[in-house]
Amino acid sequence: MKLRRLLRYYWLRLIRLRGDPRKLALGMALGVFVGITPTVPFHMVAVLTLAPLLRVSMVTAYLGIWIMNPLTIVPLYLLAYEVGRFLLFPEGVLVLPEVWTWRAALEVLWRGGLALQVGGVLIALPPAVASYFLTLWALRRQRQRRRGETPRVQSFSPDAP
């Protein structure tokens, strides 16, 4: 399936959803936020848990997690790690030990994982906010167009023949 066709499919699926546009847009923002955070094995679980708790659209949240895919995972993880490392450990790069012990391995995993998570949350906030406003605008515009294009039902007067 071509990328353009796939994008059109998800676009049509999004604009045909019914419900409050704010809840749909919040669901998309939640999905994008979760999708960018470096928690790939838990994206679906996080969305299925958080969407009902926050009372947002689960469908749009599901659509939003697809921002993380095999093409975007490497650049987003690298950016998340670099942002987290810059904020948490400004003294330098994560240095691998010459002799691997359990303590050294846990230290590397802790520092690297913490930098990755903190950076992931920070880089996920701007796209999530942007996706909220973009989705809200698109849904409202599409519904306004749909209302304007559909013919209105004519009301007949009671004294019609």
pLDDT digits (tens, 9 = 90+) for 19-77: 888 999 999 999 999 999 888 888 899 999 999 999 999 988 988 888 777 778 889 88
* Model confidence at 150: pLDDT above 60: no
Q: Are 51 and 30 in contact (CB under 8 A)?
A: yes
Q: Are 15 and 140 in contact (CB under 8 A)?
A: no
Arithmetic mean of pLDDT, 115-127: 93
Q: Are 83 and 122 in contact (CB under 8 A)?
A: yes
Residue 104's domain spans which residues? 13-145
Would you state the pLDDT for residue 16?
74
Quick one: how far is CA 130 from the chain centroid?
Answer: 10
- The structure tokens 């007949």 sit at 156
* Model confidence at 95: pLDDT above 90: no
pLDDT > 70: percent of the chain: 90
Q: Which residues contact 27 (CB under 8 A, 6 or more apart)?
A: 51, 56, 57, 58, 59, 60, 61, 64
**Does 53 fall in a domain?**
yes
* Model confidence at 160: pLDDT above 80: no
Arithmetic mean of pLDDT, 74-95: 86
Q: Whole-angstrom Cα distance, residue 118 to residue 105?
A: 20
Least confident interval from 18-22, 103-107, 146-150: 146-150
Would you state the pLDDT for residue 55?
94
Would you state the pLDDT for residue 7?
74
Instruction: Calculate the alpha carbon distances from 117 to 32, 56, 57, 96 in Å.
Output: 15, 24, 25, 19
**Does 135 fall in a domain?**
yes
Q: Are 146 and 18 in contact (CB under 8 A)?
A: no
Q: Are 43 and 81 in contact (CB under 8 A)?
A: no
- Count up the domains in the chain and report the number: 1
> Per the structure block, which two tokens stand in for 52?
């009902």
Q: Whole-angstrom Cα distance, residue 46 to residue 55?
A: 14
Arithmetic mean of pLDDT, 109-114: 88
**Does 4 fall in a domain?**
no
Would you state the pLDDT for residue 32?
92
Q: What is the mean pLDDT of the chain?
A: 84
**Does 44 fall in a domain?**
yes
Q: Whole-angstrom Cα distance, residue 135 to residue 63?
A: 12
Closest C-alpha to 137, from 24, 31, 19: 24
